[in-house]
Amino acid sequence: MRAMDEFAGKVALVTGASGIGAAAALRLARAGAGVLCCDIDAAAGGALAQAAAGLRLVTRQVDVTAEAEVQAAVAAAAQAFGGLDIIVNAAAIHPFGTVEHTDAATFARCMAVNVGGIALTARHGIPLLRARGGGAIVNLASVQGHACQQGVAAYAASKGAVHALTRAMALDHARDNIRVNSVSPGSVRTPMLALSARTFDGAGADLEAVFRRFGAAHPLGRIGEPEEVAELIAFLAGPRSAFVTGADYLIDGGLNAGIGVR
């Protein structure tokens, strides 16, 4: 099968229109999928729509914690492209702080976006996937769901929950031929990583210098690119991974292979 038409006739809903979500949406659309990409940030959607000129990719402003908006987005994807086969959940927020310094509203919002958003796209998308005889869901987790740095309590909790939710969804929907897997990146060059850099090094931080330092912590000696993660997402979304479900794939330049002692 040529990579150009691996996803011909397939329809994907992607949440997150910047960074990894944008790269995944473009990767699937370039391989023939019709894609509806959602983001709460209209500017992120607008930039992706521009980058996607000529592709079957539309963007839509959606808050993944608002059930009616998610339901409408799922329906719009099916209406625009004739059904739904793939869901990629890449919308997320990354609050910083110890549990002592994370207020209840911040903690709840983090869980609502990073975990609840996945449940909502699945709740409304699964009936459409089932109607097509199966499909694939790819959830963005993180290395921080396996082992974490300091000061990311809510985010790490949410990513551990993404691993658990992925397994639960995989078991519940295996009989529908719906495969559910997660991807756990290390540091990847996106606006979220830039936020991390500014949080740890200050607003005026030299981003490339901080990214080099983050990269040096990864055995491969660099941070990842969104397109590299999109490649793994495409593998998990398509027929090449037909016997893979309930799994988490690290894509972290070897970060989690080490114990941090030199």
Ligand X SMILES: NC(=O)c1ccc[n+]([C@@H]2O[C@H](COP(=O)([O-])OP(=O)(O)OC[C@H]3O[C@@H](n4cnc5c(N)ncnc54)[C@H](O)[C@@H]3O)[C@@H](O)[C@H]2O)c1
Q: Which residues bind ligand X (CB under 6 A)?
A: 15-21, 38-41, 44, 62-65, 90-93, 113, 140, 142, 185, 187-188, 190-193
Question: Which of residues 22 and 129 has its CB atom nearest to ligand X in the complex?
Answer: 22
- Write down the least CB distance from residue 2 to ligand X, Å: 28
- Write down the least CB distance from residue 21 to ligand X, Å: 6
Q: At what angle do helices 191-201 and 207-216 cross, to 10 degrees?
A: 90
Active-site residue flag, 249: no
Cα(35)–Cα(16) distance, integer angstroms: 12
Cα(58)–Cα(36) distance, integer angstroms: 5
Q: Which of 155, 211, 214, 249 is catalytic?
A: 155
Question: Which of residues 21 and 125 has its CB atom nearest to ligand X in the complex?
Answer: 21
- Write down the least CB distance from residue 5 to ligand X, Å: 26
- Write down the least CB distance from residue 224 to ligand X, Å: 7
Contact 192, 142 (CB under 8 A): no
Token pair of 202 as six digits: 């200050």
One-letter amino acid identity for 106?
T
CA max distance for the chain = 55
DSSP state of 145: G
> Which residue number places its CB atom closest to ligand X?
19
Q: At what angle do helices 153-173 and 117-131 cross, to 10 degrees?
A: 20
Question: Which of residues 16 and 34 has its CB atom nearest to ligand X in the complex?
Answer: 16
State the distance between the two ends of the chain, measured CA to CA, in whole angstroms. 45
Cα(14)–Cα(28) distance, integer angstroms: 10
Question: Which of residues 16 and 125 has its CB atom nearest to ligand X in the complex?
Answer: 16
Q: Tell me the chain's radius of gyration from C-alpha atoms.
A: 18
Question: Which of residues 19 and 95 has its CB atom nearest to ligand X in the complex?
Answer: 19
Catalytic annotation, residues: 155
